[in-house]
Amino acid sequence: MLYIGVDLGTSAVKLLLMDEKGGIKKIVSKEYELHFPHPGWSEQKPEDWYSQSMEGIKELISECDKSQVAGISFGGQMHGLVVLDEDDDVIRPAILWNDGRTQKETDYLNNKIGKDKLSEYTANIAFAGFTAPKILWMRENEPDNFNKIKKIMLPKDYLAYKLSGTFCTDYSDASGMLLLDVKNKCWSKQMMEICGVSEEQLPKLFESYEVVGTLKEDIAEELGLSKEVKIIAGAGDNAAAAVGTGTVGDGMCNISLGTSGTIFISSKTFGVDSNNALHSFDHADGYYHLMGCMLSAASCNKWWMDEILKTKEYSKEQEGITKLGENHVFYLPYLMGERSPHNDPKARATFIGMSMDTTREEMTQAVLEGVAFGLRDSLEVARSLGIKIERTKICGGGAKSPLWKKIIANVMNLKVDVIESEEGPGYGGAMLAAVGCGEYDSVQEAADQLVKVVDTVEPDDKLVAKYEAKYQQFREIYPALKGVFQKFD
């Protein structure tokens, strides 16, 4: 049988066709626009996600035996606010995960409602990218639109709704809304009251591997698929990527170098760090995870290459970088503000330490190292909880760079396991579809059988020592500049 994984990203939807043994048969990518109507705002049209996903699915299955397609599932960008009216029309463009307009609402939640209360209700505190602050912003700034809301959903769930007609979400994605009681896996009555929404406006909750419905008849006809094709709930992109890299069960770790960067630690038990610097979320395997998320990771390198150096020769730009651990240039990777562990939408990207002899290679190296140092900040929080991590999987576009993987291994002092498929969320979505269709009994079984490690990047003791000294310098930069950032528009 064949399974489709839909990775609904920020710049494109990537669709993956997988057979029952985990073999990737075809990958298709379709781009759509990202809109910045005001500085710090970030929006997309859900209609674009749907139209591009439909075109992508048609292309994906154009050469296969369509009768073999059994299920479709998702890994989707998290936290985005999608709102529909009583006619199921989109009320306004989706407000995305990297949108920073909700500082006032985030401060209200953290300071007036209180971080302790929020953590009690949801296991998390408010971050500007989360969904609940966006709902409060909409209530305050667009009351007419707010009053039209019949359904509130997350980006991937809009696709599931359009394909199946089922108003649904999964626990992993819902964890990032600040509306879910993560520990008890139900909507928080207190948070619904604070946000002025009802349970009827929120989707039905499912485990990521559960079937939510089948293809609607008209959709099945348009795609040339059976209406018996199952739609499986899917997961937030980071949880889906973790499934795709086999980061399930207890004490496993995955680093994602995508548009955003994450360090993801799976656990069979629920836990929260005392400062809520890490997110405490439900996992797609039915258990839990801790996650540190930085808003700009591979996007920092893309910005540096595309916008500043004006080149697409990413690997060529890295060829001259040989003096690891010796760079005097530092880069703060806060192009869109920062989430973990600083929770500061006003933070900005900064180069520091340049001199007259600073080279192009050193600037490029600083970007790669700055992202690694930013991820290390979250790893240090996990270590402070007594969590012992010795190795990690890695995925995302940045993981295609051998140099970046080497930097990650030595900055983190972790063994970095490279897996056969670096397709993260799309592969994880296809695996969840296979579990939902009964191909595997559990997410753990699918991960054990399908995910294969093909290489390991080992840290080097001398480099680890050099990077330890550099990291200690790096961590002094943000606190020194924090007050300056607060004065920027």
Kindly list the structural domains of the chain, giving each domain's residue range(s) and its CATH number in brackets, ordered by start. 2-239 (3.30.420.40), 246-485 (3.30.420.40)
Tokens of 364: 């490029």
Are the C-beta atoms of 80 and 93 separated by less than 8 Å?
no
Burial class (CB in 10 A: 0-12, 13-18, 19+), 430: buried
Structure confidence by residue, pLDDT tens digits, 209-224 = 999 999 999 999 999 9
pLDDT of residue 437: 98
Structure confidence by residue, pLDDT tens digits, 108-127 = 999 999 999 999 999 999 99
C-alpha–C-alpha distance, residues 426 and 16, integer Å: 6
Judge whether residue 339 has pLDDT over 90: no
Under DSSP, the state recorded for 391 is: E
C-alpha–C-alpha distance, residues 330 and 362, integer Å: 9
pLDDT of residue 424: 82
E-only strand ranges, 32-96: 43-44, 69-76, 82-84, 94-95
Residue with tokens 């993801």, as numbered in its chain: 264
Are the C-beta atoms of 169 and 235 separated by less than 8 Å?
no
Of 28-32, 262-266, 289-293, 419-423, the poorest mean pLDDT is in 419-423
Structure confidence at residue 435 as a pLDDT band (50, 70, 90): very high
Are the C-beta atoms of 21 and 33 separated by less than 8 Å?
no
Q: Which among 284, 282, 261 is positioned nearest to 272, based on CA atoms?
A: 282
Structure confidence by residue, pLDDT tens digits, 132-162 = 999 999 999 999 999 999 999 999 999 999 9
- Is 78 annotated in a binding site? The answer is yes
Determine which helix (DSSP H) or strand (DSSP E) holds 46, and give its type and residue range: helix 46-60
Q: How many CA atoms lie within 13 A of 468 on its CB side?
A: 9
Query: 459: cis peptide before it, omega within 30°?
Result: no
- C-alpha pair distances (Å), 201 with each of 84, 102, 150, 198, 379: 10, 21, 6, 5, 36
By DSSP bridging, strand 415-419 and strand 453-457 are antiparallel
Judge whether residue 385 has pLDDT over 90: no
Provide the angle, in degrees to the nearest 10, between the axes of the packed helices 360-384 and 461-485: 90
Query: How many of the other CB atoms lie within 10 Å of CB of 358?
Result: 15
pLDDT of residue 43: 98
Determine which helix (DSSP H) or strand (DSSP E) holds 211, and give its type and residue range: strand 211-214
Structure confidence by residue, pLDDT tens digits, 284-336 = 999 999 999 999 999 999 999 999 999 999 999 999 999 999 999 999 999 98
Residue with tokens 């880069």, as numbered in its chain: 331
Backbone angles phi, psi at 290, to 5 degrees: -105, 145
E-only strand ranges, 9-159: 12-19, 24-31, 43-44, 69-76, 82-84, 94-95, 151-153
pLDDT of residue 345: 87
Judge whether residue 489 has pLDDT over 80: no
Judge whether residue 422 has pLDDT over 80: no
Q: How many CA atoms lie within 13 A of 22 on its CB side?
A: 20
Structure confidence by residue, pLDDT tens digits, 436-463 = 999 999 999 999 999 999 999 999 999 9
C-alpha–C-alpha distance, residues 216 and 229, integer Å: 9
Query: Mean of the pLDDT values across residues 341-360?
Result: 95
C-alpha–C-alpha distance, residues 357 and 413, integer Å: 30
Are the C-beta atoms of 421 and 24 separated by less than 8 Å?
yes
- C-alpha pair distances (Å), 242 with each of 114, 218, 285, 288, 395: 31, 33, 10, 12, 9
- Is 354 annotated in a binding site? The answer is no
Query: Mean of the pLDDT values across residues 337-344?
Result: 90
Q: What is the mean pLDDT of the chain?
A: 96
Judge whether residue 7 has pLDDT over 80: yes
Who contacts 374 (Cβ-Cβ below 8 Å, separation ≥6)? 261, 294, 297, 332, 333, 338
Judge whether residue 432 has pLDDT over 80: yes
Structure confidence by residue, pLDDT tens digits, 167-208 = 999 999 999 999 999 999 999 999 999 999 999 999 999 999
pLDDT of residue 274: 82
**489/231: higher pLDDT:** 231
List, by residue number, the catalytic residues: 237
Structure confidence by residue, pLDDT tens digits, 45-89 = 999 999 999 999 999 999 999 999 999 999 999 999 999 999 999
Judge whether residue 39 has pLDDT over 90: no
- C-alpha pair distances (Å), 205 with each of 131, 304, 329: 16, 40, 47
Query: 155: cis peptide before it, omega within 30°?
Result: no
C-alpha–C-alpha distance, residues 368 and 421, integer Å: 22
Structure confidence at residue 277 as a pLDDT band (50, 70, 90): confident
Structure confidence at residue 259 as a pLDDT band (50, 70, 90): confident
SS3 assignment, position 237:
helix
Structure confidence at residue 488 as a pLDDT band (50, 70, 90): confident
Are the C-beta atoms of 255 and 409 separated by less than 8 Å?
no
